[in-house]
Amino acid sequence: MRKVAIFVEGLTEQEFVVSLVSALVGKRGLHVILGRQWKNKVTIKSTTAPIGAIEFQVMVVDCANDEQVKTQIREQYPTLIAAGYTSIIGLRDVYPSPRASLPYIQGKLYSGLPVVPIQPNMHLAVMEVEAWFIDEVSHFELIHPTLTVPFVVANNFDIIGNRGDTWGHPAEVLDRIYKLAGLSYLSSAGKKTRARIKRTVNAIAFDELYVTVQNRLMDLKAFISSIEAALF
């Protein structure tokens, strides 16, 4: 059994990663374990293992903070190794740091992390994981039928000519696009809610993400490649 631990910045990334891994694995036996960091302690949520042989065990930890991704990998590393995990992956956003800080953040991704017996694979979503959602343009019509690509582009959101990672604050852009149909991605306070996150993740066509979108966004391609290498 392959045991993979994936540490992500927040709930959005956790929901996305669970769906992505499920899409990659298909009908093969997958047991997903969910965790959440709070006050430097990771709590594991009890989940029911699937019936039959388990080929993959994937733990996805919501670290509730971008800086906590690396911190929790470092803190949990000895426990993960002792438990037989074969791969450790980290994913965090760049936002709210400015784009100009990207080289600095990239240069610090692996600083202080253990490398033996397993070197974690660290990834950035530029500028946010919502950039990946924006580039999966077919999902907009599932959010609301009026959100066709021509309609969105005609309303000054060139989601074809501009890659998702070129927007400074992709979550806010996603919210503004949804608002064209009278909906929202963010709350009135600018926060994300579980229900709205799930609505978007459930609308994502993961086959399209795999076949097309990852070839537009190199950070997504690198992240998917790490998961594939860990699983297969």
DSSP assignment of 153-222, as one string?
A: HHTT--TTTS-GGGSSSHHHHHHHHHHTTT--SS-TTS---HHHHHHHHHH--HHHHHHTGGGT-HHHHH
pLDDT of residue 48: 83
Q: Give tens-digit pLDDT for 154-172.
A: 999 999 999 999 999 999 9
Q: Give tens-digit pLDDT for 55-76.
A: 999 999 999 999 999 999 999 9
C-alpha gyration radius of the chain: 18
Pair (113, 174) in one structural domain: no
Residue 50 pLDDT grade (very low, low, confident, very high; cuts 50, 70, 90):
confident
Pair (15, 62) in one structural domain: yes
- Does the structure show a pLDDT above 80 at 46? no
Residue 36 pLDDT grade (very low, low, confident, very high; cuts 50, 70, 90):
very high
- Does the structure show a pLDDT above 90 at 91? yes
d(CA 109, CA 120): 10
Pair (7, 122) in one structural domain: yes
Q: Provide mean pLDDT across the span 14-30.
A: 96
CATH code assigned at 93: 3.40.50
Pair (61, 90) in one structural domain: yes
Pair (171, 222) in one structural domain: no
pLDDT of residue 47: 81
Pair (51, 144) in one structural domain: no
Contact, 129 vs 204, CB < 8 A? no
pTM of the model: 0.97
What is the residue-averaged pLDDT of the chain? 96
Pair (19, 54) in one structural domain: yes
Residue 231 pLDDT grade (very low, low, confident, very high; cuts 50, 70, 90):
very high
Residue 54 pLDDT grade (very low, low, confident, very high; cuts 50, 70, 90):
very high
Pair (124, 20) in one structural domain: yes
Q: Give tens-digit pLDDT for 96-147.
A: 999 999 999 999 999 999 999 999 999 999 999 999 999 999 999 999 999 9
Pair (71, 113) in one structural domain: yes
Q: Provide mean pLDDT across the span 203-210.
A: 98
pLDDT of residue 188: 94
Range of the domain at 117: 2-128+207-231
Q: Provide mean pLDDT across the span 191-203.
A: 97
Q: How many domains does the chain have?
A: 2
Q: Provide mean pLDDT across the span 9-16.
A: 98
Pair (18, 104) in one structural domain: yes
pLDDT of residue 225: 98
Is beta strand 2-8 parallel, antiparallel or unpaired with respect to 87-93?
Answer: parallel
Residue 27 pLDDT grade (very low, low, confident, very high; cuts 50, 70, 90):
confident
Q: Could you tell me which residue, 27 or 187, shows the higher pLDDT?
A: 187
Pair (92, 18) in one structural domain: yes
Pair (193, 213) in one structural domain: no
Q: In what order do the strands lie in the sheet with 56-62?
A: 41-45, 30-38, 56-62, 2-8, 87-93, 121-125
